[in-house]
Amino acid sequence: MALPLPTSLSPSRVASFKDCALAFRFSAIDRLPEPPSPWSSKGTLVHRALERLHGDVPAGRRTPDEAQVQLGLAWAELATDPDFSGLALDAEAEAEFLADAATLVGNVFLLEDPDTVNAIGLELKLEARVGSLRLRGIIDRLDLDPDGELVVTDYKTGRAPNVPYENRQLGGVQFYAFLCEQMLGRRPARVQLLHLREPVAIIASPSEQSVRGLVTRTAAVWTAVERACAAEDFRPHPSKLCDFCAYKEYCPAFGGDPALVGRAPVPAAAV
């Protein structure tokens, strides 16, 4: 019996399938829950603080001190969310967690002046169709620059990648450029990754060729997903990423058995 086919793909799902087809299956098809992790929860907190900074604070008041105020408000919003309360941090660990988040939020001022940013979309949900495939994504920030051009900005709270992975991450932002072009009728002039830990900005200008290549590669991934679902053949790809994988108990590379996964019905809107 074939596995149910996901109804859409996002940049993270495309990357997940390329990294490990079996992990993609566990997440996107079997819908196995992942326990909260400090790095992903911290990323959520930092993203929310920066969303508040640009959405709730007018230009002229977006100072480093104000950014820390917004971080505190974001923490008050999210502290009881299971992704945070599930971390079960003691007082010392919580203080370290928040101090690191404060550093990440402060580092945005080393990459840009938030007072000069004209954000016209925050956590902007976009989707478009390519044949039978629905592509969707959420843009951290869509800006209008002084020349009236669109700029896609994506915050990253992990380490900046080496060159091969840098190109792959830019591919994800190119994905957002395609969605903008399809939904807004305009291709962004620039896409940028703001790596807040180093900090470093990685910037690229999407072209018709780069966007077309992105669509071609994504369509190829979708074809591979369709074949894997039809054949129930999602294979593991052991790598350093296994150190962070929540699905080891079901993975044959670690002595597990995918057949032990009890699949629940996949919601219509699931990816």
Q: What is the pLDDT of residues 6-23, one digit of tens each?
A: 989 998 899 899 999 999
Count of residues for the chain? 271
- pLDDT reported for residue 87: 95
In the predicted structure, residue 235 carries a pLDDT above the cut 50: yes
Question: CB-hemisphere CA count at 13 Å for 131?
Answer: 9
In the predicted structure, residue 170 carries a pLDDT above the cut 70: no
**Has residue 78 been placed in a domain?**
yes
Work out the pLDDT band at 140, boundaries 50, 70, 90. very high
- Residue with the larger pLDDT of the pair 159 and 186: 186
Work out the pLDDT band at 162, boundaries 50, 70, 90. low
**Has residue 56 been placed in a domain?**
yes
- pLDDT reported for residue 1: 63
Q: What is the pLDDT of residues 60-73, one digit of tens each?
A: 999 999 999 999 99
**Has residue 44 been placed in a domain?**
yes
- Residue with the larger pLDDT of the pair 80 and 176: 80
Q: What is the pLDDT of residues 12-57, one digit of tens each?
A: 899 899 999 999 999 999 999 989 999 999 999 999 999 999 999 9
**Has residue 245 been placed in a domain?**
no
Give me the long-range contacts of 222-230 (CB less than 8 A, separation at least 24). Answer: 222/9, 222/133, 224/17, 224/21, 225/5, 225/6, 225/9, 225/17, 225/24, 226/5, 228/3, 228/21, 228/25, 229/2, 229/3, 229/4, 229/5, 229/29, 230/2
In the predicted structure, residue 199 carries a pLDDT above the cut 50: yes
Whole-prediction pTM value? 0.89
Total number of domains in the chain: 1
Domain housing 105: 38-114
In the predicted structure, residue 168 carries a pLDDT above the cut 80: no
**Has residue 204 been placed in a domain?**
no
**Has residue 93 been placed in a domain?**
yes
**Has residue 16 been placed in a domain?**
no
Q: What is the pLDDT of residues 88-118, one digit of tens each?
A: 999 999 999 999 999 999 999 999 999 999 9
In the predicted structure, residue 169 carries a pLDDT above the cut 70: no
**Has residue 69 been placed in a domain?**
yes
In the predicted structure, residue 171 carries a pLDDT above the cut 70: no
Question: In angstroms, how far is the first alpha carbon of the chain from the final one?
Answer: 20
Q: Percentage of residues in the chain with pLDDT exceeding 70?
A: 92
Work out the pLDDT band at 215, boundaries 50, 70, 90. confident
